[in-house]
Structure 1
Amino acid sequence: MNIVVLLGSPRKKDSYHVAQLIEKKMGHEGDIRFDYIQLSDMTIHECKGCGLCFSKGEMYCPLKDDIQGIVKRMIQADGILLASPVYACQITGTLKKAIDRMAYLCHRPAMVGKPFINIVTTAGGGKKPTGQYMKMMGIAFGCHYVGTLPVISTMFFDDDKNSLYNEKYHQKILKKMDRLIKHFQKALHDTTPPRPSYYDIFLFNGLKSKTYMSEADHDYWKKKGWLKANYYYPTQLSIGKKIFGYTINQMIKMVWKRMQQA
C-alpha cells in the first residue's frame, strides 16, 4: 500500500509533522509506505497560461520539469495526503504553482476514486477557506474526499517556546485524526467504489462541460464512457441525486447552447 504525501510547505515543519503522526498511527498495518513529495525541493515552473494542456493534451506543455513525475507518483498511489500551512488565508504559493500545472486533471480526471485527506496547519485563521479549496481540487482530480484535518499549530504542538499549547485541544485533534485515519483505511481497503456526494455529482457535471470546448477532453471522456454517465463509475444513486445531476447537466447544456447562439 502506497500513500503519497504532497507537502506544500517550503519547510518541513508543522504540516510535515502532522503527516508523520498519521504515518506513525497507520504504521501498524505493516505493508504500507509513505512517499513524501517535498514540492519546494522539486523543479516546477510557473504555468504560462498557453492552454495547450487543455486543448491538446498535457504532453504538449512546453515546460519541462518535475511535474509529470509528481503526477505519475500520485496516480500510482493508493491514497493521497495533501498538506499545506495557511499562507494569507490560502494554500502556499508552492502548492498553488503545482496545482496550476496539474489543472488539466480537472478536465481529464486520472485519479478517480482514490481516497485523499487534507492537512491544514495554521497559526490562527484561514483554515476553512484553505481546506475548502484543497477539497475542491482533490475532487476535481477525481479523488474521493475522506476529510480535512485542520490544526492550529500554536495550540497543538508542545514546544517549550510555545506558550499557547493546550493539552485539551491537542487531544481533541488526535481524536479527530484517529477518526479520519479509520475512514481513510476503510476507503483504502474497500472493494466497492464510494457513493458520490451531491458535491461530487455537481463537480462531475461541471467538469463534463469542458468536453464542449476541448477535443482532447471530449475524446478522453468518450473513451472512459463518461459522456452519458451519471458518474465516473456505476454506482447506486438516490432519486434526489439523479435528479440533481440531470438538472445540473441540462442547465449546462442550455448555457452552452446560448453561448453558441450569441
Structure 2
Amino acid sequence: MTAITDPTTDAPLTTAAVARIPADPTAGRAPRSNTPVIEFRQVQKTYDNGFQAVAPFDLSVAAGEIVTIVGPSGCGKTTVIRMAAGLSSVSGGELVRTTEQLAYVFQDPTLLAWRSVRSNVELVAKLKGVDKATRSAAATAAIEAVGLGAFERSLPRQLSGGMKMRVSLARAITSAPELMMMDEPFAALDEFTRANMQMELLRLWRLNAFGAMFITHSISEAVTLGHRIVVMAARPGRIARVIDSPSPPTLDDAPRDLDALAATAAVVSELLSEA
C-alpha cells in the first residue's frame, strides 16, 4: 500500500496531517534543499526513423523551483517533459531524478465523465492503493485548496473549462508531488481564465513548494510563472538561452517588478524571433 508522504520530510502523511494542509496562501513551505529534483545531462532524443527531436540538452530543476519552457511548435518541448516523466525513452545522455513523487498535468484535464469531482480527484491515489481514509482526506484538502468545495459532487459536464483544470490540479497535488510536470495545461482557456489559473497555480505552489517543469507557447505565461525561463529553438530541439527571472514568484507572495518582467518578456520574444 502506497502512503502519501510529506515532501519536506519524506515521512508518511497521516489523515490528520493531510487535513491540516494550510489554506493561507502565504503559509507555503520552503523548499527542502537546493538539490535538483531532476537533471538532464546531455540528454537527447532520436527516433527510429533517424529524426532528432531533441539535441543534447542540459537542464536541472531544484526543489521548489518553477522552470518554464517556451518555444515554437515542433521544438521538442513536449518530448523533453515526456522524457522527464518516463513516458518517452532517452536516446542519449543521462536523466537523473532524485524523487519518484511525480505528477503530470496534461493540456486536457483528462477527467472521467462519469465520475464526480471528488471521485476524479481521488482516482490516482486509489489506483496507487492508498487507503480510503487517507485519500479522502487528501482529496478534501485539495478540493478546498482549489476552491471547488461546493462542487465536489458535480460531474465534469457541469463544470467550466477553468473548473475542470482546477480538478486536474487538485488531483495532481493529492500525491504531494516533489516534481510537477505540466504540458501547456492552460492553453485551451480564454485569456481571463488563463490568467486566473496562473495565479491559482502559484497559490498552490506556495502551499506545497513543489518543483515544476511548465511547458507553454505563451511568453507572458513563461515569464509570469518561471523562476527560470528556458527558451528553446527547433530542428533539432535545443536550448537557445536560460534566463533567470529578475522578479520571480516568492513563497510570501511579495510584490513583483512588473517593468523588469516586461523587459524579460521582450528579451524572450526577441530570442524566439531568431529561433
TM interval, shorter chain, is: 0.3 to 0.5
**Higher RCO (CA < 8 A, seq sep 6+):** 2
The structure richer in helix per residue is: 1
Q: So what's the TM-score if we normalise by structure 1?
A: 0.35
Q: So what's the TM-score if we normalise by structure 2?
A: 0.34
